[in-house]
Structure 1
Amino acid sequence: MGVPSDEVVQIRHAAAAGDPAVVTVSCPDKTGLGCDLCRVVLLFGLSVVKGDMSTDGRWCYIVLWVLPRRGRPGPVPWGLLKDRLLQLCPVAAPFGFDTADLAAAGLQDAPPPAPRLFLLKLYCFDRMGLLHDVTRVLCELEFTIRRVKVSTTPDGTVLDLFFITDARELLHTKSRREEAYDKLESVLGDSLASREIDPATEDMLTCLQACPSLTPAVMEQMFNTDLIEEQSITTRGDNAISVTTDNSLSSVHTLIQIQCGDHKGLLYDIMRTVKDCNIQISYGRFYATQNGRCDVDLFVVQSDGKKILDQQRQRSLCCRLRMELLRPLRVALVNRGPDTELLVANPVEVSGKGRPLVFYDITLALKNLQKRIFLAEIGRHVVEDREWEVYRVHFGEEHDLSAALQSKIVGGVTSMLMGWD
């Protein structure tokens, strides 16, 4: 089936402080590869300042100029980044064959099995920023948080239930679990009363799928496009977004041109939207200017290899891209009885994955705002045929939040998620 080469992914380190590193990927093409690569770059706390990509449908060539995001904790593990990018790249076919030949013969590598799910159970004594500190440790260990249930008792004891997967697929081993325990103990100190990691059972998986429904009022507040447009007028950031299509510059491609303000994960948001709309990029160019604006040119075709000639589909694609760039994540603060609840909705790709580090950013923003978390959970909901990962955070009954403080919380969380902090 061919042997992976280190030259599939190359990283040229910055020549001087402040200069971008250059990540080059050259490998067989596959659907959604650009989106997957951008998700990993975002996961490693990097910002894309320039990008070029091209493909003939069989082989793709992608170059990304990246910088560590301001406030990223610690140095970038470039070797690990290279390994994670390599894992996403299809293996080149043997000489004389191509991926189409292998697919026709049924010889392509089978997709990897779903990672094993584990339950991390923590009993802790509550303190400011506790949940973020736990989340930071899990991210550093390369654990992916699938679901969370956090509850606080009146005596200040916290029960944290994290359903996690391990990027290294080693959590079934004693040494990997001990590594996790040691890291948690070193960061949490006396706040940690007990810890335990076990494989998730079928009963746990059933409970995992159950989560409170969203009320019509909440869905209106978070997913009504007209309200989102109004809210964005007063939100920090450059909201001038232009998305246009042009069929006159190429005989075989439709050109999509985007001009917008920069934000954390911008290129990822573009790539996931294009993928979800079943549009294929043949050539793309991305450039972030020093004044915080971005210019994007994408030469694309439909899944049938033809230009986008239907005007209704052109308008629908432009509207979808504009909305995803205007508000890629939805943030709202609502009253739930005597409690105040923060809701953050993260769109789920057709692959079942979503933007990484959302829970990390939420908990960091609340820690910076000195807000204790009484309850927290993550669940998935389908709204108008789209799946969303919804993060719910409760501040407790004793927190009577003024309008000014509510605005500060929503603004702080939004700024952290968008990279405006």
Structure 2
Amino acid sequence: MGILSDDVVIIRQSEKEGDPSVITINCPDKTGLGCDLCRILLFFGLNIVRGDVSTDGRWCYLVFWVIGEPNTRWNLLKTRLVEASPAFAWAFGISRCYLSDSESQPPDIFLLKLACSDRTGLLYDVTEVLYKLEINIEKVKISTTPDGKVMDLFFITDTRELLGTEKRRDEVYEYLRDAIGDAMMSYDIELVSSEVTARSPASSSFAETLFSSLGEHPSGLQTSSSVSIAVDNSLSRAHTLIQITCQDHKGLLYDIMRTFKDFNIQISYGRFTIKRGKNCEIDLFIVQSDGRKILDSSKQDALVSRLRAELQQPLRVVMMNRGPDTELLVTNPVELSGKGRPQVFYDIALALKKINTCIFSAEIGRHLTGDREWEVYKVLINEEDSLPVSRSKIEEQVWSTLMGWE
């Protein structure tokens, strides 16, 4: 049991507001571990300002300097980080959460049906409750009736895997009741088939609108046009060095780690630092799954192209006309493991609440275009009940919130 001691994950909270807390992880290694850990940090709303990664292929040592909110749930964060480490699976037997992506079983999907009286910020209040309870929104359909009633259909999974119990459902109800108050008219949770969240191919017009920026020079809002990525095979006999300079954004390290995981690339040593404000410098010594350097120029070009696209546009935000109405579209790539980006819907709802923009309907789905799967968020703006805000202002507010630039 020594492998599960407090030495697996050590969190040293900052003593002064604004200073980073330090998270140290010392555990057996596995391909994609860095991605999984960064995804958890992103889910908890932490911004990584510095990072060091070192592994010999069997054991890894990671240190993250992070900035969090005063109400960060550090004890729960530690539990989730320990559970993500192979040490947890080794000690307690293989759980489906720690099998390879091809062997793992999908979690149970539940349908949360919620009827409420409409008001500004309602969707944000609901998503905030689900976020606090570690309930993941896989798909959603929200509609508003002419008499001001809202019917919310959330297809959800439970990180704690307890939604099948009456106690857990009662907990969800109590939290929602506290957040919504008398506006909540009905509530129900039921187990449904996973087929209801099945992905679908994107229509040609839809794909053209959202994914026309996949080329070498993407259009639309970007983190920065000055992303520098260099590949060097001369400094190390055993490793390929990837050097990245770019602007920081929320989830930056997750986007890099996710790309490496999808390409089945292992990081042997890495260092991440933020310098001169929001400018980031990342040095990563990597190898392929066979333990060799990346010498094939076509593989290098494919990796660099994907990294540049992910760093310039980790998400895509587009405002469209839908007849007389305005629709907000946000999309992000899905990991090959099937996991989507955490907190996107939460950030969209938060951004719209900040500028007093009401939501008439919303929907989350998954679409296939080419060889990639995308998570797509469609939000129809209720312009009649909202304060007059330009479409460009809505787009910029949502983008800034998603990027963590608030």
Specify if TM > 0.5: yes
Matched to 1:168, the amino acid is: R
Q: Which residue does 2:25 correspond to in 1?
A: 25
Q: Which residue does 1:99 correspond to in 2?
A: none
Q: How much has 1:197 moved relative to structure 2? A: 1.3
Does the CA contact (< 8 Å) of 1:222 and 1:228 recur in 2? Answer: no
Q: Which of 166, 180, 183 is the aligned partner of 1:188?
A: 180
Whether 2:195 is the aligned partner of 1:206: answer: yes
Q: Which residue does 2:147 correspond to in 1?
A: 155
Q: Which of 288, 292, 307 is the aligned partner of 1:306?
A: 292
Deviations 1:349-371 (A, max 9, x none): 01110210000001111111211
Q: Which residue does 2:211 correspond to in 1?
A: 223
Q: Which of 387, 397, 407 is the aligned partner of 2:392?
A: 407
Q: Distance in 1 between matches of 2:270 and 2:82?
A: 21
Local SS of the residue matching 2:405:
coil
Q: Distance in 1 between matches of 2:99 and 2:156?
A: 26
Whether 2:348 is the aligned partner of 1:348: answer: no
Q: How much has 1:124 moved relative to structure 2? A: 0.4
Q: How much has 1:167 moved relative to structure 2? A: 1.3
Q: Distance in 1 between matches of 2:316 and 2:79?
A: 32
Q: How much has 1:259 moved relative to structure 2? A: 0.2
Local SS of the residue matching 1:147:
strand
Change (3 A) 1:8 1:123: same
Change (3 A) 1:306 1:334: same
Whether 2:283 is the aligned partner of 1:297: answer: yes
Does the CA contact (< 8 Å) of 2:21 and 2:65 recur in 1? Answer: yes
If the length of structure 1 is used for normalisation, what is the TM-score? 0.88
Q: Which residue does 2:11 correspond to in 1?
A: 11
Q: How much has 1:297 moved relative to structure 2? A: 0.3
Local SS of the residue matching 2:80:
helix
Q: Distance in 1 between matches of 2:274 and 2:174?
A: 41
Range moving further from structure 2, 341-350 or 213-222: 213-222
Same amino acid, percent of matched pairs: 55
Local SS of the residue matching 2:390:
helix
Does the CA contact (< 8 Å) of 2:20 and 2:65 recur in 1? Answer: yes
Matched to 1:30, the amino acid is: K
Q: How much has 1:38 moved relative to structure 2? A: 0.2
Q: How much has 1:238 moved relative to structure 2? A: 4.1
Local SS of the residue matching 1:362:
helix
Change (3 A) 1:184 1:228: farther
Range moving further from structure 2, 217-226 or 379-388: 217-226
Q: Distance in 2 between matches of 1:79 and 1:401?
A: 40
Q: Distance in 1 between matches of 2:2 and 2:212?
A: 49
Q: How much has 1:27 moved relative to structure 2? A: 0.9
Does the CA contact (< 8 Å) of 1:2 and 1:91 recur in 2? Answer: no
Matched to 1:216, the amino acid is: S
Deviations 1:170-221 (A, max 9, x none): 1122221111111111110121111111212x3xx4343376x644333223
Deviations 1:216-255 (A, max 9, x none): 33322322237784645xx475432100100110011110
Change (3 A) 1:33 1:415: same
Matched to 1:246, the amino acid is: D
Local SS of the residue matching 1:407:
helix
Q: Which of 71, 88, 102 is the aligned partner of 2:84?
A: 88
Q: Which of 328, 331, 337 is the aligned partner of 2:314?
A: 328
Change (3 A) 1:311 1:227: closer
Q: Which residue does 2:373 correspond to in 1?
A: 387
Within 5 Å, give how 1:64-143 maps onto structure 2. Answer: 64-68=64-68, 72=69, 75-91=71-87, 113-143=105-135
Does the CA contact (< 8 Å) of 1:125 and 1:157 recur in 2? Answer: yes
Does the CA contact (< 8 Å) of 1:218 and 1:334 recur in 2? Answer: no
Change (3 A) 1:364 1:315: same
Q: How much has 1:387 moved relative to structure 2? A: 0.4
Does the CA contact (< 8 Å) of 1:244 and 1:257 recur in 2? Answer: yes
Deviations 1:364-405 (A, max 9, x none): 111112111111111101111000010111125859999x81
Change (3 A) 1:271 1:56: same
Deviations 1:294-350 (A, max 9, x none): 000000111221111111221221111111000000111112333322111111001
Q: Distance in 1 between matches of 2:256 and 2:41?
A: 14
Q: Which of 265, 269, 275 is the aligned partner of 1:279?
A: 265
Matched to 1:245, the amino acid is: V
Local SS of the residue matching 1:395:
strand
Deviations 1:251-309 (A, max 9, x none): 11110000000000000001001111221111111001241100000001112211111
Q: CA RMSD in A?
A: 2.7
Matched to 2:391, the amino acid is: Q
Does the CA contact (< 8 Å) of 1:2 and 1:92 recur in 2? Answer: no
Does the CA contact (< 8 Å) of 2:125 and 2:180 recur in 1? Answer: yes
Local SS of the residue matching 1:316:
helix
Q: Distance in 1 between matches of 2:327 and 2:213?
A: 21
Does the CA contact (< 8 Å) of 1:2 and 1:93 recur in 2? Answer: no
Q: Distance in 2 between matches of 1:123 and 1:357?
A: 23
Local SS of the residue matching 2:188:
strand
Change (3 A) 1:400 1:210: farther
Q: How much has 1:17 moved relative to structure 2? A: 2.6
